[in-house]
A and B are shown apart, each in its own frame.
Chain A
Amino acid sequence: MRAVEDALGIQIPENARLIRNIMEGIQYIQDHVIHFYHLTALDWVDVVSALSADPAQTAALAQSLSDWPLSSEAYFKGVKDRLTAFAESGQLGILANGYWGHPAYKLPPEANLMATAHYLEALDWQKDVIRIQAIFGAKNPHPQTYLVGGMSCPVDPDSQNAINATQLAEVQRLFAKARDFVERVHIPDLLAVASFYKDWAAIGGGLGNYLVYGDFPMTASQSSDQPGDLFLPRGMILNKDLSTVHPVDQQQIAESVTRSWYEYSDDTIAKHPWDGETSPNYTGPQPPYEWLETEQKYTWIKAPRYQDMPMEVGPLARMLVAYASGHERVQHWVNTALGALDVGPEALFSTLGRVAARGLETAVLAEKVTDWVDELTANMGSGDLRVTNTEKWDPATWPEEAMGWGWTEAPRGALGHWVRIKNGAISNYQCIVPSTWNASPRDAEGNPGAYEAALVDGTPVEDPELPLEILRVIHSFDPCMACAVHVTDPERNEITRIQIV
């Protein structure tokens, strides 16, 4: 959308800017909390250990961390009883198939029970707060009301057929609920769990280069080059050096396919996405296979590079650039966390830093989003009901040829689209999504991508048949979902297959 708007020189109305920020804001908050509790917590929290927790001590622990009301002995006893009933019937359901009992789990049973209780609470919470996306976007996921030029959801405080005063009040109520959970449950849990895993502040750092396109425009965007003041700023941190924030130039990005299942007219030359090619050419082993040919091409992901450098993207990158740029609220939350854990900023360049940054970003946004609802409400109150700029909707107003690029920060990181338009149709479209950066393979020079570099940066594997530590590193980037593991020991030539959460 931004790529097309950039190509055609379209500026969106203020209300569209605010609605896009609000919808993206709740998406971040929901995604990040789901990631923490449902996608990575079980790498750190042993649910089976929670079965031996003392509910009274769990209540004391929870009350020492937060004044969240669901923290009585009776409440935690109830959660424990439910878990015990499931476990005894052999039906752990979504909690089955973990590496329970792995020696890398360090939390006492009471912390495990508390975190498991909040895992369950977060399931209910997330389905409520994401209704904000449905209010503006008609549904979630895949909201339907975006439009080149703005938004297609009408706003009018007095109409039953538009976003009106009643719905704005509901949005504010849900944002208050979102912030309450983040500040009284999510952040205290994050800090409590992290305090047992401080050794992970020196594991899985990896590249040390961080790229941020920036997002949440606070003022009108003129073009992708002039995006307005961004709440989360654009910039780069190189070699873990927080003293300098480098500018970002989209012309410096190029993708290579030397190790990817594509062919370019010349495989050795990286291409800027405006000149990008998508010519699939699978040369890997025929499935089912045991191993990939990792010395040759081994993935469907291209290798994007910034001035030939591999980069990490995501919440850690955003928090580092904002922190180094002097962002007041980011500094507040990051310093609060560093102080609570008694570590310095260098701890951020790690697996633990990646998990923590995602939580801290959630807190920063949860306290900001309501400002955008207030601004939208004020605009509507003053009679500004515009949500779309249709001046260039008609293709007859377009030039014969146009090219543009659009950037956003998805919850998982920097996301860019590049488009060429010819005679009213797309002649080339290239996407570089966050996981293209983070899950990148080697490039033409043999430099690894972010996951690959993080895994070889001090990641232990205590038991190769239960590679919990690898999951911690990979999950910290938020690629999510369930996995199946195959393990081979070349000496014993033994293959096992393990289903994991």
Chain B
Amino acid sequence: MAKIAIDPVTRIEGHLRIEAQTDGGMVTDAWSSSTMFRGMELVLRDRDPRDAWVFAQRI
């Protein structure tokens, strides 16, 4: 029995962490976690909607 953490599995907009429990050579449970806050929704608030795509494109 072992618990495994893979951190980070990075993505374009942040980082991904995988924790997995193994038993008898098989994964028996797993958790997926993004370890960075994106917050694009807060960046866009109160902006001109015609500019939204330029910001959102960076996700």
Interface set of A (CB-CB < 8 Å, partner B): 1, 3-4, 7-8, 142, 146, 148, 261, 276, 278, 280, 282, 290-292, 294, 298-301, 393, 395, 417, 419, 421, 424-431, 433, 435, 439-441, 448-449, 451-452, 455-456, 458-462, 464, 467, 469-471, 474, 479-491
Contacts and interface: CB of A to CB of B under 8 A. Distances in A.
A280 B22 CA distance: 32
A497 to B, nearest CB: 10
Nearest to B3: A488
Given A142-B57, A441-B32, A474-B9, A292 B52 contact: no
A383 to B, nearest CB: 28
Nearest to A299: B33
Nearest to B9: A483
Contacts of B59: 431, 433
A299 to B, nearest CB: 4
B19 A490 contact: no
A429 B19 contact: no
A290 B5 CA distance: 9
Task: Sort A-B residue pairs by CB-CB distance and give the 3 closest, nearest first.
Answer: A455-B30, A464-B2, A481-B10
Given A299-B34, A300-B14, A431-B59, A276 B52 contact: no
A170 to B, nearest CB: 24
A456 B44 CA distance: 37
Nearest to A146: B53
Interface in B15-34: 16-20, 22, 25-34
B5 to A, nearest CB: 5
6 contacts: A301-B32, A425-B49, A426-B44, A427-B46, A467-B6, A480-B10
B5 A459 contact: no
B9 A300 contact: no
A435 B48 contact: no
B18 A474 contact: yes
A455 B2 contact: no
A300 B4 contact: no
A451 B4 contact: no
A485 B6 contact: yes
A299 B14 CA distance: 12
A445 B56 CA distance: 31
